[in-house]
Amino acid sequence: MNWLKKILKFLGFQEDERKKQPDIEITSTAKPLIQEPVNNEFAKDVSLEAETGQVFVDEELRYITPTTFPVILKSNKQTNCTYLNGINRNDKGVMEDYFFDYASGKLQGKLKNDIQIKLPDITITPDFIYADEEKKIFIAIEIDEPYSINNNHEFIPIHYKGSDDNRNKGLLAIGWSIIRFAEEQIARNPSECAKFIEQYINGKDINEIEAIVCWSKEEAEKMIERKFRNTYLPYEFQEASLSNSKSSYRSLDFISISFRQSKKDEKFAVISLGHKIDANSWVNGCQCWVNEDCFWKKFEETSVSQIIKTRSRGYDYELVNFIEPQKFEGYGKLNGDYFNLNKGDEFKLIYTSIMLKILNMQPRFQSKKEFEQVSLELLYPIYHFEEKVKKLKAAGVKEFNEAELSHNYKQEVAVLRKYGIDLKL
């Protein structure tokens, strides 16, 4: 064939140098440790994308074992993939449900954690999947811990370098992309990891997450000796990592609260929970029934309760419902429309820093109505005005036009003085 190419070239015909779109892209948010390709039969056109930019390879390049977390293995194949819903899983990692709570709202309820994918040779049950049938986007999302416990209650190394290659290759071959995090990244920055997935799906610039180098089997065995997972897992998860528990620590968005009395005259706080998409909509709604006395005891422990006590004669149900927590966290299990706590008194109410700041700015108030009126008319606008001024200061702005001030003139002028910005008349 070489002599034919030479004749065609002599006659003026040039070989088409255009490159095909790669089937797979291997992406890392940190500079990956580039290794020699491993020997396997999964030979495809590949593009390797790192901080230095994209390198498109027109020669055949074999699958490269990932070396740092987080990593994205992107398949450009189109697929009409089918998978099984509603799988009952008994193999969840201790951070899976917790992270599911963080990510579900950001991903519009399209995140699932009960899916099974059947391949010709193996069956794969990813930790999570993101599936958009309309756009044909299928992503398997995994949380990799360095070791786990088997049925004989022995610690064993897992997810070490190269051990998940067959799993990755099987998914890529049928058009699934893959995102893998180290468990440590999820434990330390769950919200940033959720944002990472959201930005990737929406084609935005991906925020950087501190890279973690993939461990070897020998390194994982040393981690077992040092009980390494206890150095980053929150306390609530450390005991769970020693067993295959059927319940886990959850962090659900607070929706609302009401108070009811049972037929046996028991009083309950009925807390509506879910995964918020925005202020007015949510998915995966459920209820948690907590003994009313227990609820008030837990509320007394919060910073919000202490602030309210200094500014009000007391607090009523309406006021507490209006100053709603951001999160309700506890160790338990979702059972259909209900979240059942392991123990009725083991939960936390988590408030946002914005709410705490607003309450600290708040004058004395006697009711929900007074609090709501002052917050909506003064405190919320002033808080957001201060955030705006901070950004102007950071950008080097030295003057602010008086015409842009609102009816909260005195308070806004005080904010400008606080940040050293002059008022332009």
216 lies in the same domain as 266: no
Summarize the confidence of residues 56-70 as an average pLDDT.
65
Tell me: cis bond preceding 70? Omega within 30 of 0 counts: yes
153 & 56 share domain? yes
The alpha carbons of the chain give a radius of gyration, in whole angstroms, of 27
CB–CB of 260/342 below 8 Å? no
Residue for token pair 């917050």: 375
| Domain end marker among 208, 225, 242 | 242
Lowest mean pLDDT among 9-13, 201-205, 318-322: 9-13
Tell me the mean pLDDT in the region 141-159: 92
Nearest 5°: the CA angle 237, 357, 275 is: 45
In a domain, 12, yes or no: no
Give dist(CA 304, CA 323) in Å, integer.
Answer: 9
Q: Percent of the chain having pLDDT more than 70? A: 69
302 with 285, same domain: the answer is yes
Q: Count up the domains in the chain and report the number.
A: 3
User: pLDDT band for position 376 (50/70/90)?
Assistant: low
Does 124 fall in a domain? Answer: yes
Whether 82 maps to a domain, the answer reads yes
* Same-domain check for residues 293 and 415: no
Q: How many CB atoms lie under 10 A from the CB of residue 172? A: 25
Q: Which of 14-23, 111-120, 121-130 has the lowest average pLDDT? A: 14-23
Q: Which of 221, 242, 263 is the last residue of a domain?
A: 242
β-pair type (137-144, 177-182): parallel
Residue 10 lies in a domain: no
Residues 394, 348 within the same domain: no
In-domain check, residue 301: yes
Residues 91 and 246: their CA atoms lie apart, in Å, by: 9
Q: Is 254:324 a contact under the CB 8 Å cutoff?
A: yes
Residue predicted with more confidence, 177 or 53 = 177
User: What is d(CA 406, CA 392) in angstroms, rounded to the nearest whole number?
Assistant: 17
Does residue 360 carry a pLDDT above 90? no
Q: Tens digit of pLDDT for each residue in 162-214?
A: 999 999 998 998 889 999 999 999 999 988 999 899 999 988 888 889 999 99
Same domain, 337 and 287: yes
Residue 141, domain member (yes or no): yes
- Regarding whether 354 and 220 lie in a shared domain, the answer is no
- Cα–Cα dist 338/112, whole Å: 18
β-bridge partners, 212 = 69
**Are 266 and 216 in the same domain?**
no
Q: Which residue has the higher pLDDT, 10 or 40?
A: 10
The Cα–Cα gap between 218 and 334 comes to 37
224 backbone dihedrals φ, ψ, rounded to 5°? -60, -45
Query: CA-to-CA distance for 179 and 172, rounded, in angstroms?
Result: 11
Q: Which amino acid is at 407?
A: H
What φ, ψ does residue 253 adopt, rounded to 5°?
A: -75, 135
Distance CA 395, CA 46 (A): 41
- Tell me, yes or no, whether 15 lies in a domain: no
Q: Which run of H or E residues covers position 394? A: helix 380-394
CB 240 within 8 A of CB 249: yes
Residue type present at position 275: H
d(CA 132, CA 154) in angstroms, rounded, equals: 39
Mark whether 167 and 42 lie in a shared domain. yes
Task: Give the pLDDT of residue 152.
Answer: 85
Distance of CA 375 to the CA centre of its chain: 30
* 121/222 same-domain check: yes
pLDDT (tens digit, 9 = 90+) per residue, 260-319?
887 778 889 899 998 888 767 888 889 999 988 888 888 888 877 776 666 555 555 566
Domain termination site, one of 194, 220, 242: 242
Q: Which of 93-102, 214-223, 315-324 has the lowest mean pLDDT?
A: 315-324
149 within a domain of the structure (yes/no): yes
CB 420 within 8 A of CB 393: yes
Q: What's the CATH number where 340 sits? A: 2.40.50
For 281-294, letters b (16+ CB in 10 Å) and e give: ebbbebebbbebeb
Same domain, 73 and 182: yes
For residue 381, what are the domain limits?
377-424
Do both 238 and 254 map to the same domain? no
